[in-house]
Amino acid sequence: MPRSPELVWYASYGANMSLERFSCYLAGGVPPGGSRANPGCRDTAPPRARCAVWLPGGVYFALASRMWGGGLALYDPDLPGAAPARTYLVTSGQFGDIAAQEMYRSPDGDPDLARVPERGRLRLGAGRYETLVHCGDVDGHPVLTFTAHWPSAAVEPAAPAASYLGVIGSGLRGGHGWSARRSAAYLASRPGARGTWRSAQVAALLFEE
């Protein structure tokens, strides 16, 4: 990207695929099933557009979430296959504020997104969501997400919490139009969830919504 874009597509592959959960990053508040309040973005305007996409690579669960308990959804662009995601067209400032909140920091700075290599990565820090990834472009705007700087093979998988799976599943259903069973099968197959969660168990969580 030759210059810092005014608008970017923020791509979520985890809980923020749920519009209800993502709204807490914009306006602030505690998401359903969560345990912490988000301060919200300095600019609380809703996204200008949203769409479903597939990101090259895969999603796995590892570490521990302060919000949900259990493993966190992380993205490894070097895994085989493709990962379903939901994108939101936001300002670069909103994107920076969302990234800051993912690291439990105050939203108070604008990132220089021009530093992100085209279809590449920019490591901003050692944290779990401090590496920016440029996944391509949609309608002339870059698709950006954030994840950990390490590969999935470098960390021990960790099973996600039921509430977390429920929110991600809700996002898959709302963003991609998947059925509860298809969403459950996908989530139960992810490293970290696989072997702990069966597809039928995850589907039961989604049918309870």
Task: Say if 40 falls within a structural domain.
Answer: yes
Across all residues in the chain, what is the average pLDDT? Answer: 92
Task: Say if 130 falls within a structural domain.
Answer: yes
Q: Choose among 13, 75, 90: nearest CA to 44.
A: 90
Res. 209 pLDDT band, cuts 50 70 90: low
H or E stretch covering 64: none
Contact 164, 9 (CB under 8 A): no
User: pLDDT tens-digit profile of 180-189?
Assistant: 999 999 999 9
pLDDT of residue 111: 78
- Check whether 1 has a pLDDT greater than 60: no
pLDDT of residue 67: 83
138-164 residues labelled b (16+ CB within 10 A) or e (exposed): beebbbbbbbbbeebeebebbbbbbbb
- Domain with 121, as residue range(s), is 7-207
Res. 4 pLDDT band, cuts 50 70 90: low
The structure tokens listed for 73 are 């959804």
Task: Say if 16 falls within a structural domain.
Answer: yes
pLDDT of residue 41: 94
The structure tokens listed for 164 are 């977390």
Task: State mean pLDDT over 89-106.
Answer: 90
What is each CA distance from 118 to 32, 131, 145, in whole angstroms? 36, 14, 13
SS3 assignment, position 65 = coil
Task: Say if 2 falls within a structural domain.
Answer: no
Task: State mean pLDDT over 173-192.
Answer: 97
Angle among Cα 151, 113, 108 to the nearest 5 degrees reads 100
- Check whether 19 has a pLDDT greater than 60: yes
Task: Say if 126 falls within a structural domain.
Answer: yes
The structure tokens listed for 38 are 């988000």
Task: Say if 1 falls within a structural domain.
Answer: no
Task: State mean pLDDT over 121-138.
Answer: 92
8-12, 31-35, 146-150: least confident range: 31-35
Task: State mean pLDDT over 153-158.
Answer: 97
**Highest averaged pLDDT of the listed ranges 45-54, 95-104, 200-209:** 45-54
pLDDT of residue 97: 94
What is each CA distance from 72 to 5, 90, 120, 144, 172, in whole angstroms? 29, 24, 23, 19, 16
pLDDT of residue 105: 83
Q: Choose among 61, 63, 89, 87: nearest CA to 76.
A: 61
pLDDT of residue 123: 93
CATH number at residue 128: 3.10.490.10
Task: Say if 132 falls within a structural domain.
Answer: yes
| pTM of the shown model | 0.93
Number of domains in the chain: 1
Task: Say if 174 falls within a structural domain.
Answer: yes
DSSP string, 92-125: HHHHHHHHHHHTT--------GGGSPTTSEEE--
For 146, phi then psi, to 5°, come to -135, 150
- The Cα–Cα gap between 76 and 168 comes to 17
User: pLDDT tens-digit profile of 55-90?
Assistant: 999 999 999 998 889 999 999 999 999 999 999 999
